[in-house]
C-alpha cells in the first residue's frame, strides 16, 4: 500500500517558523515602544510650546501674562490643572503678570522615564526623571 505524498507543514517546520517570529518580535518590540514613548513626549512638548505661544500673544495684547487657562481661552474652568490632549500628562500653569511656568506631569506610570517637563517665559526647558532628578534627555 502506497501512502499519498504529504503536502503542508510538518510540526518541526512550524516550530522553526514560530521561533523565528518570536525572536524577531523580541528584537522589534523594545525599539517600537521606545519610538512610541518618544512620540508621546514630543506631543506634550509641542503642547507646552503652543501654550507658551498663547502666553506670548496674550502678553502682546494685554501687556502681561495670562494668570489662568481661562484667560488664555483654553478652558472655561478656573482650575490651574488640566489634562493634555493625549490624556497621559497633567498640565499646570503657574503664572504672574511678569513670568510663567507651564509644567506637564506624567499621569500614567511607567511609559516614560521623564516624569515632568517644564517650560518657562524665557523658553528655558527643564525636566525631571523618574528618580526626581534633573534630566536633560527629555527634551531631545
- Residue 100 Cα to chain centre, angstroms: 21
Q: What is residue 95's DSSP assignment? A: E
pLDDT tens per residue across span 99-122: 999 999 888 766 677 788 899 999
Degrees, nearest 5: CA angle 47-51-54: 140
pLDDT tens per residue across span 127-139: 887 666 666 667 7
Which cell numbers in the block locate residue 85?
490632549
Nearest alpha-carbon partner for 114 in 34, 30, 52: 34
Residues with Cβ < 8 Å from 35, sequence gap 6 or more? Answer: none
53: pLDDT confidence band, cut at 50, 70 and 90? very high
pLDDT tens per residue across span 6-28: 666 788 888 999 999 999 999 98
Q: Could you tell me the pTM of the whole model?
A: 0.74
pLDDT attached to residue 73: 86
Q: Are 138 and 41 in contact (CB under 8 A)?
A: yes
- Strand-pairing partners, residue 105, are 90, 116
Amino acid at each position: 500500500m502506497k501512502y499519498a505524498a504529504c503536502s503542508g507543514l510538518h510540526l518541526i517546520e512550524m516550530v522553526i517558523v514560530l521561533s523565528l517570529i518570536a525572536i524577531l518580535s523580541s528584537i522589534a518590540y523594545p525599539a517600537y515602544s521606545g519610538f512610541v514613548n518618544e512620540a508621546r513626549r514630543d506631543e506634550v512638548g509641542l503642547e507646552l510650546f503652543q501654550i507658551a505661544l498663547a502666553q506670548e500673544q496674550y502678553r502682546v495684547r494685554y501687556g502681561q501674562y495670562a494668570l489662568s487657562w481661562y484667560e488664555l481661552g483654553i478652558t472655561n474652568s478656573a482650575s490651574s490643572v488640566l489634562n493634555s490632549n493625549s490624556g497621559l500628562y497633567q498640565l499646570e500653569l503657574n503664572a504672574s503678570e511678569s513670568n510663567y511656568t507651564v509644567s506637564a506631569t506624567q499621569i500614567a506610570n511607567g511609559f516614560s522615564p521623564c516624569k515632568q517637563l517644564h517650560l518657562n517665559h524665557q523658553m528655558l526647558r527643564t525636566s525631571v526623571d523618574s528618580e526626581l532628578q534633573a534630566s536633560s534627555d527629555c527634551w531631545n
